[in-house]
Amino acid sequence: MAFTPGSRRNSQMADINMTPLIDVMLVLLIIFMVAAPMMTTGMEVSLPESRTGKNLESQIPVVTLAGDGKYQFENSVMTAQQLQTELKKRAFGDARAQGVIVRGDQHVSYGKVVELMDLIREAGYTNVGLSSQQAVSLQKSNSE
């Protein structure tokens, strides 16, 4: 505590030194900025290739179906029941019309993909899209 000059000896100023607080906050900000990209890793899936596929850069929710049959939604691995519950929580208004994209490993059986699509539709979504990896064009590779 500091004393104010020219006043009585017993009166004190109650000023807080903000410099250490700001220093700590800046260090925490830098730590979170560095750590955030490391926390968004997803499942490894081998997507099938498509010659006509387009890159969708949007905020459409993505459900991943891995080769071992596990589901991933928003960086969380979950069971079919948990996935359906989570999708039902979000299925209102514009989200339902927007739809869901399914990323399925190319080694997963077609039946599993259909089961996942049924699960998504039962949760209230009407638009279900399938994700693929863009194939390298043979014409481009020959001309290079």
**pLDDT tens-digit map of 30-48:** 998 888 777 655 666 666 6
Which of the four pLDDT bands, split at 50, 70 and 90, describes residue 8?
low
Longest dimension (CA), the chain: 89
Contact 31, 24 (CB under 8 A): no
Query: pTM for the complete prediction?
Result: 0.55
**Distance between CA atoms of residues 40 and 48, nearest Å:** 22
The per-residue pLDDT for 93 is 67
Above 80 in pLDDT, residue 143? no
DSSP state of 7: S
Above 80 in pLDDT, residue 25? yes
Domain ranges of the chain: 2-38, 49-134
Per residue in 44-93, pLDDT (tens digit) is 666 667 666 666 556 678 888 888 888 888 888 888 889 888 888 877 76
| CATH 3.30.420.270 matches 49-134 | yes
The per-residue pLDDT for 35 is 84
DSSP string for 53-99: -----S---EEEE-TTS-EEETTEEE-HHHHHHHHHHH-STHHHHH-
